């Protein structure tokens, strides 16, 4: 099961990375288009090179239509896509003010407790995303500019959240088992390196 969960978490992180890369490229193109459009409409350009300004404006250069809608939907998916690998490798940021003074056994129980809590929180978020997905599917809501069905982004985020919930449940069970048996199962003991 460990190898399946690891492969699944890595696959989701890869998908999240691809979506995030596409969003970065989209944002850069939109910002560059907006800048060129502003340049074409500037008094300086219209005064110094009116033909060039007219040509630039005539090309239709400008921001990518619906860039905000696409970035919003894509970022939601990317966040949930990165969550399984973060959970599996115990890479969440932690604040260890008092736990350094606690015995190792108490720390192990504390880590297991928070793994269970986080698994429950991710499951609840996934459940609510599913409810939102069904609502958007039923009412046929579309995005404002691109007019794509909003349920698409809810569905993609729900699928990533479902994988995150599965991996989180596995991690919670593994941490509790580690604490009970004293035998390590998962890499790391909680907390990102900082």
Q: Residue 187 domain-assigned?
A: no
Q: How far is CA 48 from the centre of its chain?
A: 46
Q: Which residues contact 179 (CB under 8 A, 6 or more apart)?
A: 105, 108, 109, 111, 112
Evaluate whether residue 114 is within a structural domain.
yes
Q: Could you tell me if residue 127 is inside a domain?
A: yes
Q: What is the pTM of this model?
A: 0.85
Query: pLDDT for 42-75, tens place per residue?
Result: 999 889 999 998 998 899 899 999 999 999 999 9
Supply the mean pLDDT for the chain.
Answer: 92
Is 161 a member of any domain?
yes
User: Considering the chain, what percentage of its residues have pLDDT values greater than 70?
Assistant: 96
Torsions phi, psi for 142 (to 5 deg): -120, 165
With contact defined as beta carbons under 8 Å apart, do 24 and 16 qualify?
no
Q: Which of these, 88, 118, 79, lies nearest to 3 by C-alpha position?
A: 88
Q: Is residue 190 part of a domain?
A: no
Residue 192, domain member (yes or no): no
State the total domains in the chain: 1
Q: Does residue 191 surpass a pLDDT of 80?
A: no
Q: 110 lies in which domain range?
A: 2-181
Q: Give the pLDDT confidence of 91-113 residue by residue, as tens digits.
A: 888 777 888 788 989 988 999 99
Q: Does any domain span residue 153?
A: yes
In a domain, 64, yes or no: yes
pLDDT score of 188: 63
For residue 174, pLDDT over 80 is answered with: yes
């Amino acid at each position: 099961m460990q190898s399946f969960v690891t492969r699944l978490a890595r696959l989701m992180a890869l998908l999240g990375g691809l979506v995030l890369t596409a969003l970065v490229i989209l944002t850069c193109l939109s910002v560059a288009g907006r800048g060129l459009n502003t340049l074409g409409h500037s008094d300086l350009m219209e005064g110094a090179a009116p033909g060039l300004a007219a040509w630039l404006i005539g090309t239709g250069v400008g921001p990518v239509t619906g860039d905000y809608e696409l970035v919003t939907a894509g970022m939601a998916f990317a966040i949930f896509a990165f969550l399984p690998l973060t959970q599996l490798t115990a890479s969440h940021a932690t604040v260890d003010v008092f736990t350094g003074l606690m015995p190792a056994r108490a720390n192990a129980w504390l880590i297991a407790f928070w793994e269970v809590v986080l698994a429950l929180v991710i499951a609840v978020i996934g459940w609510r995303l599913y409810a939102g997905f069904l609502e958007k599917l039923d009412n046929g809501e579309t995005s404002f500019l691109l007019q794509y069905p909003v349920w698409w982004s809810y569905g993609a985020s729900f699928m990533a959240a479902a994988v995150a919930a599965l991996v989180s449940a596995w991690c919670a069970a593994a941490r509790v088992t580690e604490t009970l048996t004293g035998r390590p199962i998962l890499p790391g003991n909680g907390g990102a390196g900082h």
